[in-house]
């Protein structure tokens, strides 16, 4: 599957789960040891901002985000976790739309890699957190995506 399409598919799973999270739930524990719901949403929201800046080629913004990264991920969300997530999603969606060739290298704060790898990394992280939020919200329908597609980008799984 095209990494850009795959990311959009994961995002389509994650967004309603975030939108369905009420402010009263933000202090709840998560399946991630030591993370509250606020921390969890803050973690992947900050990741969306950082990856968005990297995919857009904005090294200054990436460095600014890292330099001002709060001690607690949840602090990134401010007073309105829905709005902050929407802003991060808008930033990453614009950056993904601007990727002309997924085989071209992008520079992220932890190194250079093909845009396809960066998108797969972000997609895998976001997909795992879809499950976390689905479990917390006791969703009857669990997120379902071909897990092999997450981990098997070109070259990562040999010739299979």
Q: What is the pLDDT of residue 95?
A: 97
Rounded distance between C-alpha atoms, residue 28 and residue 38, angstroms? 8
The answer to whether position 157 is within a domain reads no
Give the domain extent around 74.
Answer: 3-151
Per-residue pLDDT band for 76 (boundaries 50, 70, 90) equals: confident
The pTM of the full predicted model, rounded to 2 decimals, is 0.85
Could you tell me the CATH number of the domain that includes residue 139?
A: 1.20.120.450
The answer to whether position 57 is within a domain reads yes
| Residues sharing a CB contact under 8 Å with residue 69, sequence separation 6 or more, in sequence order | 46, 76
The answer to whether position 13 is within a domain reads yes
Looking at the chain, the whole-number percentage of residues with pLDDT higher than 90 is 57
**Measuring CA to CA, how many Å separate 100 from each of 4, 9, 40, 48, 127?**
10, 19, 31, 19, 24
What is the per-residue pLDDT across 25-69, written as a single tens digit (0 to 9) for each?
999 988 878 889 999 999 999 999 999 999 999 999 999 988 888
Rounded distance between C-alpha atoms, residue 79 and residue 66, angstroms? 20
What is the per-residue pLDDT across 13-26, written as a single tens digit (0 to 9) for each?
899 989 989 999 99
Asked whether the beta carbons of 32 and 40 are under 8 A apart, the reply is yes
Number of domains in the chain: 1
In this structure, what are the phi and psi dihedrals at residue 34, rounded to the nearest 5 degrees? 85, 0
The answer to whether position 160 is within a domain reads no
Per-residue pLDDT band for 145 (boundaries 50, 70, 90) equals: low
The answer to whether position 130 is within a domain reads yes
């Amino acid at each position: 599957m095209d990494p850009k399409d795959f990311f959009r598919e994961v995002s389509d799973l994650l967004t309603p789960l975030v939108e369905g999270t009420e402010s009263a739930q933000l202090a709840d524990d998560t399946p991630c040891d030591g993370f509250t719901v606020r921390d969890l949403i803050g973690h992947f929201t900050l990741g969306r901002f950082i990856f968005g800046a990297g995919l857009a080629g904005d090294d200054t913004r990436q460095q600014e985000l890292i330099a001002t990264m709060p001690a607690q991920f949840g602090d990134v969300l401010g007073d309105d976790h829905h709005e902050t997530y929407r802003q991060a999603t808008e930033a990453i969606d614009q950056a993904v739309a601007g990727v002309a060739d997924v085989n071209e290298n992008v520079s992220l704060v932890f190194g250079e890699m093909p845009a396809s790898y960066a998108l797969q990394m972000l997609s895998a992280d976001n997909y795992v957190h879809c499950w976390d939020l689905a479990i917390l919200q006791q969703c009857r329908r669990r997120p379902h995506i071909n897990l092999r597609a997450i981990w098997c980008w070109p070259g990562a799984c040999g010739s299979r």
